[in-house]
């Protein structure tokens, strides 16, 4: 287990650099989307290293269904996602989609659930940020590079669909 954690941290260090973030966004994420789609969300490229879900939102402007593979932190009957966008200045599109329509779905390892999104604030935000940054140190590097507060979204999971 210790070796796997060291491997996770090595991947986080590499992907938190500008070049690593570009590679993850431009190469790994499209491949991950394909593998997740083909496997029905059961597994992906990134899920070999970190827990991954597919967030299914309704487009804020288009009204179309949008899918985004994301790292997540399990937390009982809820999951936590981080709107880091690989350290880019703008927030990810899925963040705006959830603000416009907090009712969404998540596919976690092939099981789809309905959920309701809310943004963490106050003490909850601080606790979740510390936990997220410990788990995936790339989040802290992304926040420094983006020079913005990185929103943390809590997804309260409902029933399987």
- Give the whole-angstrom CA distance, residue 117 versus residue 115: 7
- Give the whole-angstrom CA distance, residue 128 versus residue 152: 8
pLDDT digits (tens, 9 = 90+) for 22-36: 998 898 888 888 888
Query: Which domains, ranges and CATH numbers included, belong to the chain?
Result: 2-160 (2.30.110.10)
Q: What is the pLDDT along the chain (161 residues), one digit of tens a residue?
A: 788 888 888 888 888 888 988 998 898 888 888 888 888 888 888 888 889 999 999 999 999 999 999 999 999 889 999 999 999 999 999 999 999 999 999 999 999 999 999 999 999 999 999 999 999 999 999 999 988 999 999 999 986 66
4 CB contacts (<8 Å, ≥6 apart)?
none
Looking at residue 98, its pLDDT comes to 97
Looking at residue 67, its pLDDT comes to 94
Task: Characterize the bridge pairing of strands 111-119 and 103-108.
Answer: antiparallel
- Token pair recorded at residue 117: 């999104």
Q: 3-class SS at 60?
A: coil
Looking at residue 80, its pLDDT comes to 97
Looking at residue 73, its pLDDT comes to 94
Looking at residue 104, its pLDDT comes to 97
């Amino acid at each position: 287990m210790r070796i796997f954690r060291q491997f996770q941290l090595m991947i986080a260090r590499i992907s938190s650099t500008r070049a690593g973030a570009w590679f993850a966004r431009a190469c790994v994420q499209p491949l991950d989307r394909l593998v997740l789609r083909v496997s029905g969300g059961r597994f992906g490229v990134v899920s070999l290293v970190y827990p991954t879900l597919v967030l299914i939102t309704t487009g804020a402007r288009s009204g179309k269904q949008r899918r985004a593979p994301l790292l997540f932190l399990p937390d009982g009957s809820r999951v936590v996602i981080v709107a880091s966008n690989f350290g880019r200045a703008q927030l990810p599109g899925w963040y705006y989609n959830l603000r416009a329509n907090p009712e969404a779905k998540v596919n976690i390892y092939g099981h789809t659930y309905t959920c309701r999104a809310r943004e963490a604030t106050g003490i909850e935000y601080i606790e979740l940020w510390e936990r997220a940054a410990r788990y995936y140190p790339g989040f802290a590097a992304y926040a420094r590079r983006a020079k913005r507060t990185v929103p943390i979204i809590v997804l309260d999971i409902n029933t399987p669909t």
